[in-house]
Structure 1
Amino acid sequence: MAARSQLTAAAGPATRHATRERAAIALLILAWGATFAAVKVGLESSPPILFAGLRALLGGAVMAVLAWSRSGRPVLAGQGRDYSLLTALNVLLFFGLQTVAIGLLPSGLAAVLIYLQPVLVGLLAWWLLGEPMTPSRISGLVLGFAGIVVVGGGAFAGHVSPAGVALAVASALAWALGTIVFKSTDGRIDGWWAVALPFLGGGALLTLVGLVVEGPDITWSPQFVAALAFAGLVGTALAWSLWFGLVSAGEAGRAASYIFFVPLVGVVIGAIVLGETLTVSLLVGAALVVLGVYLVNCRPRRG
């Protein structure tokens, strides 16, 4: 009886941790999935680079307040290289390149190419961080990406911009490298400031570039303000905090596998909020994604 009580007590914290992790994953998927619709609404009233900069700047400002209240003043000594890489990869290159790519490509095709990121993270984490790459994980990554391809398959018809394809793939690579850089810091920098400072600095630079290149041509309608607020507060501050929290708590490749669900949720929310069409390919793609995520995350049984 005493041994059973001890086992139950030991299982309690593990169960609570698993529950919190599942809740964080679900919230992250919903936040990033809904952000597609918010950005689409926002781009009706703003140039793309300027919108991306304002979104990053707003999210970074909120995160800076939270980071200061939770962690105090940021420690910058000896961490300039880490912060510079996170800013360049996760904000300037990822946000900037994906925004331009979406302007050159059908949105479905752009999403398929940008969500090469989980596959790239799995490969880079195996190559650079020494994380295991089992046959099950390889199969899961391939099936997950195949599901995204099926969902966005209709976008492959028609004219495709080679420059748009190259920019979308480059943005996926930048995001994957940014994830590996954060994982490789291994606690050297505070997780809150790892989001706040890059998005503050990168958002300011993107906003400046947008003002110079595109001009301040923004229609400040209630719809635009709501879209910008959601994209900045939920899609950036909240979502990226959850993302880095999951990456720091486990394997980078495993955490990245979950975001295969994001474009699926984005398609459903687009159908509900924006009246976009749901197709049979969504159901087939969803089945492939679910199977892929299971294979990536299942653990081999011990003898």
Structure 2
Amino acid sequence: MRFRNALLFVALAVAWGSAFTAIKAGLDYFPPVLFAAFRYDLAGLLMLGYAVYATDRWRPRTRPEWTLVGIGGLFMIAAYHAFLFVGELGVTSAVAAIVVSLSPVLTTAFARVFLPEERLTALGVVGLLVGFVGVAVLSNPEQGALVTSRTVSLFLVFLAATAFALGSVLTRRVDADLPIETMEAWSMLLGAGIMHGASVAIGESFAAVRWEPRGIVALGYLVVVASALGFLVYFDLLERLGPIEINLVSYAAPIVAAITGVLFLPEELTAATVAGFALIFAGFVLLKREAISAELIGTGRPTEGDH
């Protein structure tokens, strides 16, 4: 069983890490927000089909259930992916993956604000600060030029991570017993609709799409491997491993993004990229140290001082 879990964990890290590379490759053929919308038009339909097959609640019914879908669609699908896809225009896939790996750190910060039962200790504050320092190291601004196209792109990816973290915390405030597959499916479809509206609002055009094989492969990979299959593996692992261990996928994904970026795109791995990743991961370990310790010794129960 542990071998199966480890294999699925690696598969999920590969699927989600290489997704950043697929996004970068596809941006040569699609306007960014429209590209993200296309991804979730198709992924949402696939996930909805799976929800119909695997659950007895394939659509939301109550106001809290629709609220849950609304939060997921707005923050975790639309805002996250719109900012991410636009941000990746100016940074490598590895750097984007590393900034997104800040999400579990930001989630803890938002939990402290919106969930009163969550506590943030002094060492937890240090963890937050270390994570932010990691983003600063990644930005590596040129002397005398703090605001460049690269730093703007990094900021957009940071906004993506922030939106996802905020959405994940807000969903915990909603008392709704909706199957996660159903919530994901409807959130994807709602998020896709929002992104289509945003795409029109910022002046993107269907005429700008270049339907060439490389772009179609990138879109298909994101829909089938990174979204549909990736989320199915995620659901399975979430039940078996719990949220702490599954969060570690966020830190395996940048390694995959770096490798696939070097192999398939003209990207290079810099010292600043490695240092930024190390600092963000260190921040996560400081924040989740007691929960990680509980997992390592086999209790699976975070102690009172976590966060």
TM-score bracket, shorter-length normalisation = 0.7 to 0.9
* Counterpart contact for 2:98–2:251, Cα < 8 Å: no
Deviation at 1:265, TM superposition (A): 1.9
2:103 equivalent to 1:117: yes
Alignment: residue pair count: 283
Provide Cα deviations, 1:51-77, integer angstroms capped at 9, x if missing partner.
010011111111111111101432422
Unaligned runs of 5+ in 1: 1-15
Write the mapping of 1:151-300 to structure 2, written as runs, cut at 5 A: 152=138, 154=140, 156-157=141-142, 159-161=147-149, 164=153, 166-185=155-174, 188-210=177-199, 213-216=203-206, 217-243=208-234, 255-281=246-272, 296=288, 298-299=292-293
| CA offsets 1:269-294 (integer angstroms, 9 cap, x no match) | 10112242234455556665666666
Question: Are 1:195 and 1:241, in contact at CA under 8 Å, matched by a contact in 2?
Answer: no
Deviation at 1:186, TM superposition (A): 6.6
Q: Relative to structure 1, is the Cα distance of residues 245 and 211 closer, same or farther in structure 2, using a 3 angstrom cutoff?
A: farther
| Contact 2:95–2:273 under 8 Å retained in 1 | no
**Aligned partner of 1:160: which letter?**
T
TM-score norm. by structure 1 comes to 0.76
Partner SS, residue 293 of structure 2: coil
- Do 1:89 and 1:178's aligned partners in 2 also have CA atoms closer than 8 Å? yes
The one of 91, 104, 121 equivalent to 1:106 is 91
CA displacement at 1:215 relative to structure 2: 1.0
Displacement of 1:45? 0.9
- Match in the other structure for 1:66: 50
Deviates most, 227-236 or 111-120: 111-120
**3-state DSSP of counterpart to 1:45:** coil
Query: Where do 5+ consecutive residues of structure 2 fail to align?
Result: 298-302
Encode CA deviations 1:87-136: one digit per residue, 9 max, x unaligned: 11112211112223333x43466555444312111223344443565677
CA distance in 1, matches of 2:13, 2:162: 20
Which of residues 22, 28, 32 is equivalent to 1:48? 32
Residue 54 of structure 1 aligns with an amino acid whose one-letter code is: F
- Residues 178-219 of structure 1 show CA distances to partners (whole Å, capped at 9, x for unaligned) of 222344457611110111111122213323543572111211
Which amino acid is 2:261 matched to? Answer: G
What is the percentage of aligned positions where both structures have the same residue? 25
CA RMSD in angstroms comes to: 3.5
Residue 28 of structure 2 aligns to a residue whose secondary structure is coil
1:77 aligned partner: 62
Amino acid at match of 1:46: F
After TM superposition, give the deviation of residue 252 of structure 1 in Å.
5.0
Q: Which has the larger radius of gyration?
A: 1
- Mapped partners of 1:36, 1:126: distance in 2: 29
Does structure 2 retain, via aligned residues, the 8 Å contact 1:115–1:145?
A: no
Q: Which moved more, 1:229-238 or 1:119-128?
A: 119-128
Q: CA separation of 1:233/1:218 partners in 2, compared to 1, >3 Å: closer, same or farther?
A: same
Match of 2:74 in 1: 88
Q: Which whole-Å CA distance do the structure 2 matches of 1:148 and 1:235 have between them?
A: 25
